[in-house]
Amino acid sequence: MAVLRPFDKLPALNSAVLLLVSSDEGLQQKLAEAILREKKNFKINIHLATSLPLPSERDHLRPRIDMIVFMIDIKSKYSLKNVEASLAYVDASFFLGKVCFLVTGVGRVNCCSIEMNAIWKLGEIYSSPVLFCELEMEGIRVATAQRLLRMLQICAGHIPGVSALSFGSLMRSSAND
């Protein structure tokens, strides 16, 4: 079983690794490009996967993953099923602030194929933040990229005094208001 663990490898100096899991490769690619275009003072490494588990044969070459973003498209029920199935291959300690659910297609309620309660429940069960966006719109894509980049910095330990866990709890308490 190739369960992903957050701390089983040593971190590389001044770099951060992001894993994007999405069944829609087009949107995933676009988001990754938007993140890479942002200005940053550290090395960023983005891994793309359609689902988990990741292939185990290349595991020794893979760097330590600092944050996992699961992408859900509200227009595709399959994207939610895919994420739900993939979550089984993530170690519990990842959910201490290093996982986030990114819901795209927001604002297209008429095309919605997913019940929103299911998404809220997912965020609650895995105690991870749920972010809403529309990746097909340039402006929102850029803003989302900046947001994820900032979270990645925290998860990789680049921000002194803020840990992934404290940031996660901060997000949760503001979402409950």
Which of positions 37-96 make contact with another protein (CB under 8 A)?
74-79, 81
Backbone phi, psi, residue 41, to 5°: -105, 25
Q: Which is nearer to another protein, 24 or 66 (CB)?
A: 24
Contact region for another protein (CB under 8 A) — 49-57, 89-97, 104-112, 155-163? 104-112
Least distance in Å: CB of 48 to another protein? 17
Least distance in Å: CB of 75 to another protein? 6
Q: Which is nearer to another protein, 6 or 123 (CB)?
A: 123
Does position 111 bind another protein by CB under 8 A?
A: yes
For residue 8, how many other CB atoms are within 10 A of its CB?
12
Does position 135 bind another protein by CB under 8 A?
A: no
With CB under 8 A as the rule, give the number of residues binding another protein: 27
Site residues for another protein per CB under 8 A = 23-24, 26, 74-79, 81, 103, 106-107, 109-117, 120, 124, 132, 175-176
